[in-house]
């Protein structure tokens, strides 16, 4: 369930009083992050902010209720949910991500097309640089352990070993995903090298950005599903080892998420 909880909140480390402010100013935060990759003109910034505002209005009205529903399910049943139930919930979460990216298409694709050749080269170069950053096995495992401890409190030696073994067991799937993303970026780069895109090419660009399961090669989709199944196996095994204090810590973590979602829902955009 760690992936599900991550969907519900990506900024739990922020000060509580800042949640509503952060959500209200998400457009500027995302723009600042985007400009780490490409320098936009003033008119491009304005078009992006206008489009992002409409996307965020939909996010608040359509997606936040979904998060609340998932959270209620987890709060009520996290101790008893079986593999089939967790997989069903994970597929709902996964589908939501693709829907959200699809909704962002009318904002992202026109912005990409509006970039001149210098901006396009800058964007692709910076994305390649980000993708090329390497973390050692130990660094990645340490990051995984920290995420679990954010929700559960201090892990014991047995639990850390379980998470480390899982990390090694799914290493192959991560490598497959890296190669797939590199191929996607190559396709996007090739399309952006063209000065003008036809309607069909715009649709193709959107498909590579969204990366929907319906457009994936069968073997890639199968491996993604298997990775999710492996993650669920870990979560169920880990759940059986939780101490009373860890269970209480997770309940408190879910309550924090509930509070933050309420702040997001109440934000006046």
User: If you search the block for the tokens 């934000």, which residue do you land on?
Assistant: 267
Of residues 77, 84, 69, the one with CA closest to residue 250: 77
Over the range 83-106, which residues count as b (16 or more CB within 10 Å of their CB) and which as e?
Answer: eeebbebbeebbebeeebeebbbe
The per-residue pLDDT for range 250-262, each reduced to its tens digit, is 999 999 989 988 9
Radius of gyration of the chain (CA): 20
Segments forming the whole domain that contains residue 212:
2-266
Residues 91, 70: Cα–Cα separation, whole Å:
12
Q: Quote the number of domains for the chain.
A: 1
With H, G, I as helix, E, B as strand and everything else as coil, classify residue 62: helix
In angstroms, rounded to a whole number, what is the distance separating the alpha carbons of residues 194 and 53? 29
- 19 Cβ partners below 8 Å, 6+ apart? 11, 260, 263, 264
Model confidence pLDDT, tens digit, residues 134-169: 788 899 999 999 999 999 999 999 999 999 999 999
Q: Would you tell me how many other CB atoms lie within 10 Å of the CB of residue 74?
A: 20
pLDDT at 210 over 70: yes
Q: Is the pLDDT of residue 2 over 80?
A: no
What percent of the chain lies above the pLDDT cut of 70?
93
């Amino acid at each position: 369930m760690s992936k599900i909880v991550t969907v519900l909140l990506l900024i739990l480390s922020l000060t509580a009083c800042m949640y509503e402010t952060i959500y209200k100013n998400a457009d500027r935060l995302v723009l600042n992050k985007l400009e780490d990759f490409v320098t936009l003109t003033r008119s491009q910034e304005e078009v992006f902010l206008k489009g992002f505002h409409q996307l965020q209005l939909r996010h608040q009205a359509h997606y936040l209720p979904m998060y609340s529903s998932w959270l209620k399910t987890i709060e009520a049943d996290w101790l008893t949910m079986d593999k089939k139930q967790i997989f069903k919930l994970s597929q709902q979460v996964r589908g939501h991500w693709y829907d959200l990216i699809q909704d962002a298409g009318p904002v992202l694709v026109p912005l990409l097309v509006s970039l001149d050749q210098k901006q396009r080269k800058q964007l692709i170069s910076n994305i390649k640089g980000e993708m090329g950053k390497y973390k050692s096995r130990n660094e990645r495992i340490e990051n995984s352990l920290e995420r679990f401890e954010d929700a559960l409190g201090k892990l014991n030696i047995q639990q850390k070993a379980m998470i480390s073994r899982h990390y090694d067991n799914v290493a192959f799937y991560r490598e497959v995903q890296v190669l797939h993303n590199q191929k996607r970026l190559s396709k996007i780069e090739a399309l952006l090298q063209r000065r003008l895109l036809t309607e069909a090419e715009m649709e193709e660009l959107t498909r590579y950005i969204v990366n929907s399961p319906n457009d994936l090669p069968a073997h890639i989709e199968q491996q993604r599903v298997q990775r999710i199944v492996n993650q669920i196996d870990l979560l169920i095994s880990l759940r059986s080892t939780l101490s009373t204090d860890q269970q209480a810590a997770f309940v408190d973590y879910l309550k924090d998420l509930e509070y933050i979602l309420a702040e997001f829902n109440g934000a006046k955009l």
